[in-house]
């Protein structure tokens, strides 16, 4: 019941919408909510919840711990308790097959049924019904956003509500866009100043080219009259036009193959259109084209080293200002896309268990001493959250996504996120007096911090192994408690071909 409870609670801790047990979602009336289609990657694994629920029931039955068969599930156990410093000790025992006991209670049989249902119908309504039948407990689950919010009324200091987070991110984006607009104004000013040095040259070149165009296009023998008559333009006229354009506007030159087109040919109509276009250029048009071409070259860094140096300095200043802006709004940017859920599980008439379950959101990991994550770092954890935030705020554009991703990959925001997790765990155990904390999407960096905290506060911590694919998030799960663990285990649940690892512990007769 505890693990089933924990996994079900994850279904209600989504950042953006209420997810029902049918794996469909409906958008609540609250205006700041958004569809969860981009969050399907983080869909909870109900396949793992039911075996854990079965494990708890088996713990209460006459069956000895972990002496049963779990379909498609394997794991490792430690025969020694986790010490006060939180170090796990694996014996490498494989839980794959065992001989069932001769006397099996009805509860144990129900547990086996729940396991089979979980293997066949992950995350579907049938799995939910099987688990509910098995539990036989009057357990209720928070289902509406308002009910979930009520479980978090006594929040740790760093944690914000969804509305506060959205407002904070909106303020960050407004500041970021203002900084970018300021940088663009400064950039346009220095480019314009550089272009002013060429104004006299533009006027001279435009006048010279216009004079040649006029000379070959006007008069009875000019190009305009020839084209109106439907005749092929003389080669010498085309050569004169190309000679005038080559030195200043090469993109407007008439291609050699097109110039060879004859009346009646497929390309002749294209030749007529190209020549008419060139002949229509007046002096102002030529001046404008010359200016645009030169500006493009200057912005690409050619022709003016002084300008290139000044623009590079501007880019560096913008990056510094955006980093400071991220630090300013670090608290909002460091929030998880799921709120932690505090809930009391009624195990029996005489016993209950207070649990906190939280999908923390896995942030990128920094190289020691770095102020910002490199482009090679895995950012899959924060990318869906960024997209949903932009949907909620109705912000569009690649630059908006980059603002958020870069900020959430900065040292200050990542450090704030780690402290948020540590603070919430301390808050849950010391102030809310929960007996068990269940965390999902923990990175190896956060794992190290939790281990250090366990030594300071006397926590007992057990972690599942990290995802082995270095190109994906670590996706570590863990169990934290002030009480020692009598036994630890790790379960691997296959979601399609993708393995999911879940930490599990036993305290007395209860598997968590």
pLDDT tens-place string over residues 34-91? 333 333 333 344 344 444 444 444 444 444 333 332 333 333 333 333 333 333 333 3
Contact status, residue 503 vs residue 490, Cβ threshold 8 Å:
yes
Q: Is the CB of residue 375 less than 8 Å from the CB of residue 46?
A: no
What mean pLDDT do residues 498-503 have? 87
Which pLDDT does position 117 carry in this prediction? 36
| 401-417 pLDDT, tens digit each | 999 999 999 999 999 99
The whole-angstrom separation of Cα 398 and Cα 103 is: 63
Q: What six digits make up the tokens of 134?
A: 């098995």
Cα separations in angstroms, 182 against 70, 171, 177, 296, 322: 61, 17, 9, 20, 12
Q: How many CB atoms lie within 10 A of CB 220?
A: 7
Lowest mean pLDDT among 207-211, 271-275, 372-376: 372-376
Determine the Cα–Cα distance for residues 481 and 437; give it in Å rounded to an integer.
Answer: 6
> Residue 341 belongs to what H/E stretch?
strand 341-346
pLDDT in tens, 445-487: 999 999 999 999 999 999 999 988 888 888 999 999 999 999 9
Cβ atoms 431, 349 nearer than 8 A: no
Bridge partners of 436, per DSSP, are 355
Q: How many CB atoms lie within 10 A of CB 399?
A: 12
Average pLDDT estimate for 171-183: 97
Residue 496 pLDDT class (50, 70, 90 cuts): confident
Q: For strand 25-26 and strand 18-19, is the pairing parallel, antiparallel, or unpaired?
A: antiparallel
Helices and strands (H and E) in the chain: how many: 18, 12
Which residues, including other chains, have CB under 8 Å from residue 498's CB and lie 6 or more apart?
Answer: none
Per-residue pLDDT at 114 exceeds 70: no
Q: Are strands 341-346 and 510-511 parallel, antiparallel or unpaired?
A: unpaired
SS3 category, 25: strand
Q: For a pLDDT cut of 90, what percent of the chain falls above it?
A: 50
pLDDT at site 154: 56
- In the predicted model, is pLDDT for residue 277 greater than 50? yes
The pLDDT of residue 469 is 85
Lowest mean pLDDT: which of 112-121, 189-198, 257-266, 476-485?
Answer: 112-121
Query: Cβ(12)–Cβ(152) under 8 Å?
Result: no
Burial 436-460, CB ≥16 within 10 A → b, else e: bbbbbbbbebbbebbbebbeeeebb
At 122 the pLDDT is 38
| Predicted local confidence at residue 334, as pLDDT | 95
Whether residue 18 is predicted with pLDDT greater than 80 in this model: the reply is: no
Write out the two tokens for 440: 């999902």
Confidence of residue 156 (pLDDT cuts 50, 70, 90): low
Length of the chain: 512
Query: How would you write 281-334 as a 3-class SS string?
Result: CCHHHHHHHHHHHHHHHHHCCCCCHHHHHHHHHHHHHHHHHHHHHHHHCHHHHC
**What is the spatial distance between Cα 403 and Cα 399, in angstroms, rounded to a whole number?**
6
DSSP 8-state symbol, 144? S
- Mean pLDDT (whole number) for 20-36: 33
Give the range among 32-46, 47-61, 230-244, 498-512 with minimum mean pLDDT: 32-46
Residue 347 CA to residue 315 CA, distance in Å, equals 60
How crowded is residue 192: how many other Cβ atoms within 10 Å of its Cβ?
Answer: 10
What residues contact residue 346 under an 8 Å CB cut-off, 6+ apart?
A: 137, 138, 139, 352
Tokens 């663990």 correspond to what residue?
A: 485
SS3 category, 462: strand
pLDDT at residue number 155? 57
Model pLDDT for residues 282-293, shown as the tens digit of each residue: 999 999 999 999
Confidence check: pLDDT of 173 > 80: yes
Cβ atoms of 73 and 91 within 8 Å: the answer is: no
Q: What is the pLDDT of residue 495?
A: 79
Contact 290/248 with Cβ under 8 angstroms? yes
Long-range residue pairs from 245-251, CB within 8 A, at least 24 positions apart, any chain: 245/209, 245/278, 247/205, 248/205, 248/209, 248/290, 248/293, 249/209, 249/286, 249/289, 249/290, 249/293, 251/293
378 pLDDT band, cuts 50/70/90, is confident
Angle at 60 between CA 74 and CA 483, to 5 degrees: 80
- Res. 227 pLDDT band, cuts 50 70 90: confident
Residue found under tokens 């694994």: 45
Segment 130-144, tens digit of pLDDT: 333 333 334 344 444
Tell me the C-alpha distance between 429 and 59, whole Å: 25
What is the chain's mean pLDDT, rounded? 75
Lowest mean pLDDT among 120-129, 204-213, 261-270, 325-334: 120-129
């Amino acid at each position: 019941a505890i693990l089933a409870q924990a996994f079900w609670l994850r279904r209600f801790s989504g950042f953006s919408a209420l997810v029902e047990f049918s794996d469909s979602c409906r958008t609540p009336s609250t205006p700041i909510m958004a569809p969860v289609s981009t969050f399907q990657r983080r869909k909870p694994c109900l396949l793992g919840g039911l075996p854990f629920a079965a494990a708890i029931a088996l713990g209460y039955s006459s069956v000895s711990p972990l002496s049963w068969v779990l379909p498609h599930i394997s794991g490792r156990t430690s025969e020694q308790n986790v010490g006060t410093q939180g170090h796990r000790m694996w014996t490498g025992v494989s839980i794959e097959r065992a001989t069932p006991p001769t006397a099996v209670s009805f509860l144990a049989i129900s547990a086996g049924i729940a396991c089979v249902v979980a293997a066949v119908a992950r995350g579907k309504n049938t799995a939910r019904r099987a688990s509910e039948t098995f539990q036989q407990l009057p357990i209720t689950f928070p289902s509406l956003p308002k009910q979930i919010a009520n479980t978090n009324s006594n929040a740790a200091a760093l944690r914000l509500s969804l509305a506060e987070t959205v407002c904070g991110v909106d303020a960050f984006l407004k500041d970021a866009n203002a900084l970018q607009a300021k940088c663009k104004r400064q950039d346009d000013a220095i480019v314009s100043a550089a272009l002013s040095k060429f104004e006299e040259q533009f006027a001279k070149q435009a006048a010279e080219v216009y004079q040649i165009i006029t000379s070959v296009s006007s008069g009875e023998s000019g190009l305009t009259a020839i084209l109106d008559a439907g005749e092929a333009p003389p080669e010498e006229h085309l050569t004169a036009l190309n000679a005038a354009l080559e030195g200043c506007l090469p993109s407007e030159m008439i291609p050699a193959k097109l110039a060879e087109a004859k009346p009646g040919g497929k390309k002749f109509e294209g030749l007529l259109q190209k020549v008419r276009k060139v002949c229509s250029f007046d002096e102002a048009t030529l001046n404008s084209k010359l200016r645009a071409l030169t500006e493009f070259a200057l912005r690409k860094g050619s022709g003016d080293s002084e300008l290139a140096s000044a623009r590079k300095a501007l880019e560096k200043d913008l990056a510094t200002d955006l980093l400071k802006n991220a630090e300013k709004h670090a608290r909002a940017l460091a929030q998880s896309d799921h709120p932690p859920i505090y809930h009391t599980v009624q195990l029996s008439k005489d016993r209950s268990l207070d649990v906190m379950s939280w999908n923390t959101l896995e942030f990128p990991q920094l190289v020691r001493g770095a102020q910002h994550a490199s482009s090679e770092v895995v950012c899959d954890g924060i990318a869906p959250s960024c997209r949903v935030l932009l949907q909620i705020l109705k912000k569009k554009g690649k630059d908006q996504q980059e603002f958020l991703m870069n900020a959430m990959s900065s040292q200050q925001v990542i450090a704030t996120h780690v402290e948020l997790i540590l603070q919430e765990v301390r808050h849950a155990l010391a102030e809310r007096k929960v007996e068990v904390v269940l965390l999902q999407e923990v990175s190896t960096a956060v794992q190290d911090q939790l281990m250090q905290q366990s030594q300071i506060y006397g926590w007992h911590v057990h972690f599942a192994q990290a995802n082995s694919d270095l190109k994906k998030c670590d996706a570590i799960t863990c169990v934290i408690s002030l009480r020692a663990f009598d036994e630890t285990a790790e379960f691997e649940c296959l979601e399609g071909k993708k393995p999911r690892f879940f930490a599990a512990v036993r305290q007395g007769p209860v598997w968590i």
